[in-house]
Amino acid sequence: MPSLGEPFGALILALGTTVILLALGIAVIAQGLRGGSHPAHAWLVRAIWVGIVTLLVVGVNLLSETWTRAEPAGTTPPTLVAQVEASMWRFALEPETLPVGQPIEFRVRSADTIHGFGVYDPTGKLLFTVMAVPGAEERAIFTFREPGTYTVRCTEYCGTPHGLMRATFTVQGR
Amino acid sequence: MRYTWKWEWTFVSSALFWFAIGGLAGLLLPLLRAFSADSTLLRVYAGSVTTHGVLMVFGGLFQLMVGLCLLHGRVMGGRIDEWSTRLPVLLWLSTNVGLAFMAVSVFGGFAPSYVLVYPLPLVGADVALWPRWALLIALVGIALVLLAVLYLYPAAIARSLFGRLLPTRTQLRGLIPDPGSLGMSIYALVMPILGLPVFLFAAVVFLVALGLLRPETIPIATSARSFNVAFWLFAHNLMEAMGIMTLGAIYAIVPRYTRSGQLYSPRAAVVAMILYTMAAIPAFGHHLYTWVTGNPEVLQNVSRSTSWATGFIAATLTAFNVGLTVWRNGLRAHPAPLLILGGLLLYLIDGFVALELSTPAWNLRLHGTLYATAHTMTILTAVLLVFLGVTYHYYPALREYQLDLRLGYLHSGLSFVAALAMFFSLLAGGVAGLPRRAYPWLPDENAFAVPLLVFGLLFALAQGLFAWNLWRTERARATVLAPAPAAD
């Protein structure tokens, strides 16, 4: 069962919201085309609707604080630093082999224009993205849970060969 | 009367022209996945991405809104003087000459996509990705379009609504019962201010591109960080301002197709539009979450809470108000309210995905993928559906004829279904981690292009029906309005 915090969870929640909104929308339009009617307790309908939306807004935001993600540097003490330089149209990673289960601080820089440092696990799932901005260093901490060959793809448009800007690195067990 | 309304129709027909070109460029994007990428196709793809984005947003949607909003302003305010014609002429020239410059630059190889991702335009010229002349022409085009969007359009709105640039207090109070004009006034008030930084920074970048200024002379304008903050302050709020005008159009038009002709709560509509504007402005920071270090946590929290606040306001105030208006007062069947309500529904459905992307934990795994494309494209499609509905509503006022309603129903239904299907096709690609604006994808990812192409064609077919409807009606109108042949 995937967590709600995974991208697939976001899709399921979007699908559920769509079904509810479509059902309500079609019901309202159908009722309107039939000539409409005065709802008996408009205030109650309003209160229920506001309550549902409030629960959704507060619930998702509170839950999202517990979801796994790349953290800004300083939140977890890293045990290893990985230097990443993005340039048209390649990534240079140092070191190219990283350990499982240890917080790793990625220091991401760009040599020319904006790039996106998107890290994909061996199954092709996107784990996190960091924007590489020229003139600045972005630091994000992530802990890998599985060994294997991970792929990096650029996630910010950086010119014609943007789709070809890829690299790989290895995560090894202890 | 027909003469003074000529410019509004010119905007609408220019919008349709650019929509056609931009739409064809959009269909190329999934189609190119069927071929193995070489250097030519890489350029064709990048050019199509840029053309599609720029033309659909500024050539099509913006001009459609301009034409219909100026007509609405004229109808509500009724101010007609020499500036009522001069400003729209300047606005039309600035927009369309700017777009023509940008089209020429794309043919010359300039293809930084429609969000520019500064400093790519300059760097691309430095590494000979595109010629410098194409960059310079593009910058002139961008300046003209920005001038139109940020200053000429607000000025034209103000002149058409109030007969002056700054409204009097009485005129401001007069906006309360007219949400359509209120939405336009909010655009006219916020965009000249929120767009000023990017306008000034772009001017500095132009001087740098010409070699007249060194980038380090004014670093605040030329650094990637500050330029992108200014860019997103503008671009995010341009979308929101267009969204607020859209809400205004929904509030103004839907009740006209009900028995009472009144909104359930006009006061709630005004409150919603003002609160929405206040929440939307600081929400732009959610575009910068993937600056994990560079984006201060306080800005992230402000962006996140204000983004969710916009969704809360739209769902609890706008959707409820419009829904109850229709439920209580009935709805007369007509393509105008159906397209507008379909657009509102799509706006709300997509709005939830926008809120997901405003949540840092999701954003760090979905930003830069087709999930974000799904949001951008669908919010614009929702606005398009609403303004197509407004076109059906105002067409008799513009052209003294009525469009074929049966074709209109087919147009509205097909457009909604195709837009929703494209939305979910893009969301599925985003969840699979497909980077946006990337060509080629990995071989096993190309299957995601099939539904995009199929539903894209379906959407194009729906718009083809609309074009056919317009052409038939215009032909009938020309026949009737043509002078009778002189008798021998």
Q: Tell me the domain boundaries of chain B.
A: 6-478
What pLDDT is recorded for position A37?
86
What's the CA gap between B262 and B265, in Å, rounded?
A: 8
- Partners of residue A126 on adjacent β-strands: A120
* The pLDDT of residue B59 is above 90: yes
Residue A2 pLDDT greater than 90, yes or no: no
> Does residue B312 belong to the interface with chain A, where contact is any CB pair within 8 Å?
yes
Which of B46, B433, B436 has the CB atom closest to A160's CB atom?
B46
* pLDDT 10s digits, B137-195: 999 999 999 999 999 999 998 888 888 888 888 888 888 778 888 888 999 999 999 99
| Confidence category of residue B487, pLDDT binned at 50, 70, 90 | very low
Give the Å distances, CA to CA, from B36 to A149, A166, B39, B451.
Answer: 25, 17, 10, 19
CB contact under 8 A, B360 and A126: no
B286 vs B114, residue with greater confidence: B286
Q: Which residues pair with A151 in a beta bridge?
A: A120, A168
* Least confident among A50-59, B169-178, B239-248, B298-307: B169-178
Q: Which of B291, B294, B349 sits opposite A17 (nearest CB)?
A: B349
pLDDT the model gives residue B293: 83
Chain B hits for A68, CB-CB cut-off 8 Å, are 361
The 3-class secondary structure across chain B, one letter per residue, is: CCCCCHHHHHHHHHHHHHHHHHHHHHHHHHHHHHCCCCHHHHHHHHHHHHHHHHHHHHHHHHHHHHHHHHHHHHHHHCCCCHHHHHHHHHHHHHHHHHHHHHHHHHHCCCCCCCCCCCCHHHHHHHCCCCCHHHHHHHHHHHHHHHHHHHHHHHHHHHHHHHCCCCCCHHHHHCCCCCHHHHHHHHHHHHHHHHCHHHHHHHHHHHHHHHCCCCHHHCHHHHCHHHHHHHHHHHHHHHHHHHHHHHHHHHHHHHHHHCCCCCCCCHHHHHHHHHHHHHHHHHHHHHHHCCCCCCCCHHHHHHHHHHHHHHHHHHHHHHHHHHHHHHHHHCCCCCHHHHHHHHHHHHHHHHHHHHHHHCCHHHHHHHCCEHHHHHHHHHHHHHHHHHHHHHHHHHHHHHHCCCCCHHHHHHHHHHHHHHHHHHHHHHHHHHHCCCECCCCCCCHHHHHHHHHHHHHHHHHHHHHHHHHHHHHHHHHHHHHHHCCCCCCC
Mutation target for A interface from B49, B308, B431, B446: give the one with most A CBs within 10 A.
B431
Preferred mutation among A41, A43, A129, A141 to probe B, highest tally of B CBs within 10 A: A129
CA distance B106 to B53: 12
The answer to whether the Cβ–Cβ distance between A113 and B117 falls below 8 Å is yes
Are the Cβ atoms of A32 and B348 closer than 8 angstroms? Answer: no
Which pLDDT value is given to residue B307? 94
Each residue's pLDDT tens digit, B407-423: 999 999 999 999 999 99
Model confidence band, residue B292 (pLDDT cutoffs 50, 70, 90):
confident
- Determine the pLDDT at residue B1: 41
- Write the Ramachandran bin of B78: left for phi over 0, alpha for psi from -120 to 50, otherwise beta: left
Chain B interface, best mutation among A15, A45, A155, by max B CB count within 10 A = A155
Instruction: Assign 3-class secondary structure to chain A.
Output: CCCCCCHHHHHHHHHHHHHHHHHHHHHHHHHHHCCCCCCCCHHHHHHHHHHHHHHHHHHHHHHHCCCCCCEECCCCCCCEEEEEEEECCEEEEECCEEECCCEEEEEEEECCCCEEEEEECCCCCEEEEEEECECCCEEEEEECCCCEEEEEEECCCCCHHHHHCEEEEEEECC
- Of A113 and B117, the structure prediction assigns the larger pLDDT to A113
Angstroms from B414 CA to nearest CA on chain A: 15
Out of A19-28, B139-148, B150-159, B288-297, which region has the weakest mean confidence (pLDDT)?
B288-297
Q: Which B residues in the span 82-111 are in contact with A, Cβ-Cβ below 8 Å?
A: 111
pLDDT above 90 covers a percentage of chain A that reads 72
Minimal CA–CA distance to B381: which of B463, B446, B303?
Answer: B463
Residue, of A69 and B374, whose pLDDT is higher: B374
Q: Hey, are the CB atoms on B117 and A157 less than 8 Å from each other?
A: yes
Any A CB within 8 A of B237 CB:
no
Rounded to an integer, what distance in angstroms lies between the CA atom of residue A171 and that of residue A145? Answer: 9
Chain A positions in Cβ-Cβ contact with residue B431 (cut-off 8 Å): 7-8, 10-11
Do B359 and A61 count as a contact with CB atoms less than 8 A apart? yes
Query: Is B417 part of the contact surface with chain A (CB cutoff 8 Å)?
Result: no
CA distance B179 to B272: 10
B291, B362, B424 member nearest A131 (Cβ): B291
Candidate from B293, B311, B365 with C-beta closest to A139: B293
Contact state of B326 with A17 under an 8 Å Cβ cutoff: no
Which of B96, B105, B88 minimizes the C-alpha distance to B58? B96
Residue B80 has pLDDT above 70, yes or no: no
State how beta strands A148-154 and A80-87 pair.
unpaired
Q: Which residues contact B472 (CB under 8 A, 6 or more apart)?
A: B404
Q: Cα-flanking dihedrals φ and ψ of residue B201, to 5°?
A: -65, -40
CATH number (3.90.550.10, 1.20.210.10, 1.20.1050.10, 3.50.50.60) of B6-478 reads 1.20.210.10
For chain B, give the percent of residues with pLDDT over 90.
Answer: 74
| pLDDT the model gives residue A156 | 95
Cα–Cα distance measured from residue A20 to residue A123, given in angstroms and rounded to the nearest whole number: 32
Residues of B in contact with A36 (CB under 8 A): 258-259, 326-331
Q: Do B438 and A8 touch (CB under 8 A)?
A: no
**Cross-chain CB nearest to B433 (options A35, A57, A125):** A125
pLDDT at B85 over 80: no
Q: How confident is the model at residue B484 (pLDDT cuts 50, 70, 90)?
A: low
Q: Give chain B's mean pLDDT.
A: 91
Angle between helices B39-54 and B6-31 (to 10 degrees): 150
CB–CB contact A36 B258 (8 Å): yes
Q: List domains and CATH numbers for chain A.
A: 7-64 (no CATH), 71-172 (2.60.40.420)
pLDDT of residue B430: 97
A136 → closest Cβ in B225, B333, B369: B225
